[in-house]
């Protein structure tokens, strides 16, 4: 058994002129298991969308590996590309921007089928489009209409139908609910969960807010300035975040259960997100971290397994440097 996706020290840098480099993704590693929902969370500008696009080779990688089913997607020959990229699809944050306004819903969903030469028979294709519309909670009467005739939530359903047209195994959902009304968000989440169950899909779910991925994710990686700073199953992450940045993100999320609220250490972020063109030395989070010590400017934190299946990049959890927990430090 191997993970469906293995990301190894992936980097995506952009040249931004005058010899400067924007390190949007600067060495991230994680596995996504078949059938799970893996959340990738961080503030805007942390590199999560760039990571998603680089996983699908929409951007060329700068370094590292992206293995899909054990095969490096950035090394796939043109001959085999269609075969691989049929299995990997993406749903975008702004469904309106990603749907051609001059195409009918039918044309939008048929497009990937054409590219991949599926359902060449016209009747067969039409039936498949109707089936897809029904699967996402729309119906065949919608097929001849245009994107502007739909609400935000319905447009996201069209985007999902298009992503499903090729019967993918793995879907990157890039903030698919961020642009929607709160009341519609839950509907789209429910739809994605149902489709996942019915079709055995694997999701990489990108979000800027931990509250959005809480219920849908099995495991979550928290990104900050091009790095993953913590990775664990969502239950333990919400119960007891380890990394000061995760603690800060969760401090901003109201928790209805007062017992949990009490136990949670509050961390308030100071300052602004530094530029990924000139990231801080050592720990990239140190300019905003209330626990920062000299060592944090001098050395990059190691990727530590703090507990079984829980990973964190912070010196506080390295017994080489600290013998106090962040809670104890918080008291001092």
Work out what residue 244 binds among Mg ion, ligand SF4, none; the CB cut-off runs from 5 to 8 Å by kind. ligand SF4
**CB 117, min distance to ligand SF4, A:** 50
286 binds ligand SF4 (CB under 6 A): yes
**CB 310, min distance to ligand SF4, A:** 15
Range in contact with ligand SF4 (rule: CB under 6 A) among 7-15, 102-110, 270-278, 289-297:
289-297
269-308 mask for Mg ion (x: CB under 5 A)?
----------------------------------------
Closest CA to 52 of 165, 189, 183, 203: 203
Look-up of token digits 């333990």: 236
Is residue 34 within 8 Å of 3, Cβ to Cβ? yes
In three-state secondary structure terms, 188 is: helix
Is residue 171 within 8 Å of 203, Cβ to Cβ? yes
Nearer to Mg ion, 249 or 267 (CB): 249
316 binds ligand SF4 (CB under 6 A): yes
**Residue 282: how many CB atoms within 10 A of its CB?**
17
Among 301, 302, 305, 324, binds ligand SF4 (CB under 6 A): 301
Query: How many angstroms separate the Cα of 279 from the Cα of each of 111, 183, 246?
Result: 41, 38, 19
Work out what residue 249 binds among ligand SF4, Mg ion, none; the CB cut-off runs from 5 to 8 Å by kind. none
Closest CA to 71 of 63, 62, 81: 81
234 binds Mg ion (CB under 5 A): no
**CB 246, min distance to ligand SF4, A:** 10
Closest CA to 64 of 23, 10, 6, 7: 10
Among 24, 25, 39, 49, binds Mg ion (CB under 5 A): 49
Closest CA to 209 of 183, 185, 240: 185
Q: Which residues lie near ligand SF4 (CB under 6 A)?
A: 244, 283, 285-286, 289, 291-292, 296, 301, 314-316
Q: Which residues lie near Mg ion (CB under 5 A)?
A: 49
């Amino acid at each position: 058994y191997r993970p469906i996706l293995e990301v190894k020290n992936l980097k995506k840098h952009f040249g931004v002129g005058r010899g400067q480099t924007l390190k949007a993704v600067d060495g991230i590693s994680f596995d996504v298991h078949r059938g799970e929902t893996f959340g990738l969370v961080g503030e805007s500008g942390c590199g999560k969308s760039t990571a998603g696009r680089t996983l699908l080779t929409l951007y060329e990688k700068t370094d590292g590996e992206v293995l899909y089913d054990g095969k490096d997607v950035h090394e796939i020959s043109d001959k085999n590309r269609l075969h691989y990229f049929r299995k990997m699809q993406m749903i975008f944050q702004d469904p309106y921007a990603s749907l051609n306004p001059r195409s009918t819903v039918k044309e939008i969903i048929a497009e990937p089928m054409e590219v991949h030469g599926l359902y060449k028979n016209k009747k067969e294709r039409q039936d498949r489009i109707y089936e897809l519309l029904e699967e996402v909670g729309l119906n065949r009467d919608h097929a001849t209409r245009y994107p502007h005739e739909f609400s935000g939530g319905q447009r996201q359903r069209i985007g999902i139908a298009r992503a499903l047209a090729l019967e993918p195994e793995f879907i990157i959902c890039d903030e698919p609910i961020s642009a929607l009304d709160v009341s519609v968000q839950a509907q789209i989440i429910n739809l994605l969960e149902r489709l996942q169950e019915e079709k055995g899909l694997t999701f990489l779910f990108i979000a800027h807010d931990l509250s959005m991925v809480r219920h849908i994710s099995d495991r979550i990686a928290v990104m900050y300035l091009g790095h993953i700073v913590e990775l664990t199953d969502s239950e333990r992450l919400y119960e007891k975040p380890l990394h000061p940045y995760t603690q800060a993100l969760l401090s901003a999320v109201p928790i209805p259960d007062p017992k949990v609220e009490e136990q949670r250490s509050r961390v308030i972020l100071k300052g602004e997100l530094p530029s990924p063109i000139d990231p801080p030395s050592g720990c990239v989070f140190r300019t905003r971290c209330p626990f920062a010590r000299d060592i944090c400017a001098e050395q990059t934190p190691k990727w530590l397994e703090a507990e079984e299946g829980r990973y964190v990049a912070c010196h506080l959890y390295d017994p080489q440097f600290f013998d106090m927990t962040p809670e104890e430090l918080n008291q001092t």
